[in-house]
């Protein structure tokens, strides 16, 4: 049987085993997919031990191990290189461990599935952590006209933008986000988990805004989504579709089979709610 796993710390909350079992059932594969809690300083050993097992195909990697996974793997995937973070590892035929980052593709595919046009749009990205890093190059690849990062700690946004090294990537102070006149605002922070807004939605910030996207999927609609709706933004999307799409991309990398995600997002939503 093909073996998979997800590594994190904490990991109990992970929906990845459920999602991948749904994919496997849909495409007629029998797999095992376990959650593995690795010690904070013990990811590399744990991942290598898993991948050395007979039948191990690959694994997902979540907080706080994405940089460790990047350092462990051979990385050709541009999104992973740009993000300096890997969320998917795979044993190659010649014994190497390959690393990919499917988070950004997951976000872009979810936006496109939801009918959102990215091409030519001004995107405002709130937050400058690992979640933000992972989505920058895929959003630019999808044709965003500009991508402006705003973060509570501005120096971190500057660092992320410098690393992206693309003239379309800019930084703005959180107080000045209205100057971006964004069409799409993406919240990559965890502010919604504590019912906080990641940024002000007042003072013209939403004047041109068509879509707000919150990477958080718990307690959806989040305050960020609800307030944006009240202030007239037509489309609000939570991160559940991104979670399923990043998993689908990983499943495709491992099996060369692409699951139909629409039905699965609905089934996972029932579990989350």
The footprint of ligand ATR (CB under 6 A) covers 127-132, 151-153, 156, 188-191, 196, 198
What does residue 234 show for φ and ψ, rounded to 5 degrees? -70, -40
- Given a contact cutoff of 8 angstroms between Cβ atoms, the answer to whether 84 and 133 are in contact is yes
Indicate the residue among 47 and 125 with the shorter CB distance to ligand ATR: 125
DSSP-derived secondary structure for 29-41: --EEEEEEE--TT
Indicate which residues carry an active-site annotation: 66
Is 151 one of the annotated binding-site residues?
Answer: yes
Is 153 one of the annotated binding-site residues?
Answer: yes
Query: Smallest distance, Å, CB 130 to ligand ATR?
Result: 3
Is 14 one of the annotated binding-site residues?
Answer: yes
- Going by C-alpha positions, the residue among 106, 100, 105, 141 that lies closest to residue 123 is 141
Indicate the residue among 30 and 194 with the shorter CB distance to ligand ATR: 194
Indicate the residue among 5 and 132 with the shorter CB distance to ligand ATR: 132
3-state secondary structure of 184: strand
Is 103 one of the annotated binding-site residues?
Answer: yes
C-alpha triplet 101, 104, 109: angle, nearest 5°: 125
Indicate the residue among 26 and 84 with the shorter CB distance to ligand ATR: 84
Strands (E), the chain: 2-8, 31-37, 56-61, 74-75, 88-91, 97-100, 122-126, 146-150, 169-171, 184-187, 211-214, 235-238
Is 217 one of the annotated binding-site residues?
Answer: yes
Residues annotated within the binding site for shikimate are 14-16, 62, 87, 103, 217, 246
């Amino acid at each position: 049987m093909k073996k998979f796993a997800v590594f994190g710390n904490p990991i109990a909350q992970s929906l990845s085993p459920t999602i991948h079992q749904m994919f496997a059932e849909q495409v007629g594969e029998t797999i095992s997919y376990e959650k593995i809690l690795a010690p904070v300083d013990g990811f590399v050993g744990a991942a290598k031990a898993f991948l050395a097992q007979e039948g191990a195909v690959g694994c997902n990697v979540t907080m706080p191990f994405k940089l460790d996974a990047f350092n462990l793997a051979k990385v050709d995937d541009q999104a992973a290189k740009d993000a300096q973070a890997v969320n998917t590892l795979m044993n190659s035929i010649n014994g190497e461990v390959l690393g990919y980052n499917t988070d950004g593709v997951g976000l872009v595919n979810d936006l496109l599935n939801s009918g959102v046009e990215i091409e030519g749009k001004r995107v405002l990205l709130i937050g400058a952590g690992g979640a933000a890093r992972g989505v920058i190059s895929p959003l630019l690849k999808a044709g965003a006209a500009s991508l402006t990062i705003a973060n509570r700690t501005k120096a971190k946004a500057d660092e992320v933008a410098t690393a992206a090294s693309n003239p379309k990537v800019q930084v703005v102070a959180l107080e000045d986000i209205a100057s971006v006149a964004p069409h799409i605002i993406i919240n990559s922070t965890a502010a919604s988990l504590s019912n906080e807004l990641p940024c002000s939605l007042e003072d013209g910030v939403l004047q041109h805004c068509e879509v707000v996207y919150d990477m958080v999927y718990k307690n959806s609609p989040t305050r960020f989504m609800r307030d944006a709706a009240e202030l007239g933004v037509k489309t609000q999307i939570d991160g559940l579709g991104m979670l399923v799409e990043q998993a689908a991309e990983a499943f495709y990398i491992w099996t060369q089979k692409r699951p139909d995600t629409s039905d699965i997002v609905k089934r996972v939503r029932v579990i989350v709610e």
